[in-house]
């Protein structure tokens, strides 16, 4: 994937998907699939979006995003992406956006968006204006009708806040992709080593608790359990993180990018009176996770013993 700046220009014709794509859920995937179809016309697949962290408010409320921009771009799988800061584009009129962004930088032959797509200063333009600009500048506009009951980013957030990750299946998934960072290594002292992934400022953190997960390392999957929270048993104030124990795996993953896919909520995060009590509970969590994996192997991944 080539990440563009506002000073770039793509030489080949593109078909560009337009939107914020927070969560990259099934509605977004439908837009992306329609964009990919333009490869039959030799248009390179592209995305215009905004850098996630630059969006501070949405619908008048503080914006709590599902994925960081880096995590979002990792899920898009297109040839070109332009994701400027919102403030760098917000004052453009609809015509300036169409001419400067879509035509001059992205060299679009076609654009694809949902029927609720808005653009231009103060979101003054919608799909009707986009079609008019397409006629004026010579690009096709494909509008994907998502409907009133389509899966939305807000629905995605609601399920994560409740810990209902299993309700995302079969059409959506929640996963964390990113670098493994060094923690306090308490897990190693109780025979359950973990890998840690941090949440960014203003990023939505799922309901605190233990989840059955599947961890991908170099595209190979391993069953795992993940605690999301602040580790209340350990003294000190800390930011939320995802702490994953990978079953039947040994190796040093510090500094490596891995994907942890969340499958099922097991229990809320708890504070224990001792590390020994914590160790006993993690042992029970592992047994429960293995049981759940075997029961649901037809839905998710291979069973283990």
CB distance 195 to 224 below 8 Å: no
pLDDT at 303: 40
Q: CB neighbours of 113 closer than 8 A, spacing ≥ 6?
A: 17, 18, 19, 31, 127, 130, 141, 142, 143, 144
pLDDT at 57: 85
Name the residue among 194, 211, 172, 186 with its Cα closest to residue 75: 172
pLDDT at 187: 53
Q: Which positions of the chain have pLDDT values less than 70?
A: 148-149, 183-191, 232-237, 273, 294-305
Which domains, from first to last, does the chain contain? Answer: 2-144 (3.40.50.620), 157-295 (2.40.30.30)
pTM of the model: 0.84
């Amino acid at each position: 994937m080539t990440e563009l700046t506002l000073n770039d220009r793509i030489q080949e014709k593109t078909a560009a998907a337009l939107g914020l794509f927070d969560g990259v859920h099934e509605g977004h995937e439908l837009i992306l699939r329609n964009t990919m179809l333009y490869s039959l016309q030799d248009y390179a697949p592209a995305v215009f979006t905004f850098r996630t962290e630059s969006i501070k408010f949405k619908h008048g409320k503080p914006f709590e995003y599902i994925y960081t921009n880096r995590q979002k771009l990792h899920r898009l799988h297109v040839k070109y992406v332009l994701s400027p800061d919102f403030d760098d584009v917000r004052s453009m009129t609809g015509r300036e956006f169409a001419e400067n962004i879509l035509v001059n930088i992205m060299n679009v032959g076609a654009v694809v968006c949902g029927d609720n797509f808005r653009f231009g200063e103060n979101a003054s333009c919608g799909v009707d204006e986009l079609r008019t600009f397409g006629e004026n500048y010579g690009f096709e506009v494909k509008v994907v009708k998502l409907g009133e009951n389509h899966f939305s980013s807000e629905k995605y957030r609601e399920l994560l806040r409740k810990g209902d990750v299993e309700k995302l299946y079969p059409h959506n998934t929640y996963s964390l992709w990113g670098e493994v960072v060094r923690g306090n290594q308490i897990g190693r002292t109780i025979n359950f080593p973990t890998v840690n992934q941090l949440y960014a400022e203003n990023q939505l953190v799922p309901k605190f608790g233990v989840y059955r997960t599947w961890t991908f390392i170099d595209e190979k999957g391993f069953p795992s359990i993940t605690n999301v929270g602040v580790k209340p048993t350990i003294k000190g104030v800390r930011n939320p993180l995802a702490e994953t124990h990978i079953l039947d795996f040994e190796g040093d993953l510090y500094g490596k990018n891995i994907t942890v896919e969340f499958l099922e909520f097991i229990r809320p995060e708890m504070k224990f009176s001792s590390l020994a009590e914590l160790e006993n509970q993690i042992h029970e969590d592992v047994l429960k996770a293995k049981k759940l994996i075997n029961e649901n192997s037809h839905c998710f991944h291979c069973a283990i013993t």
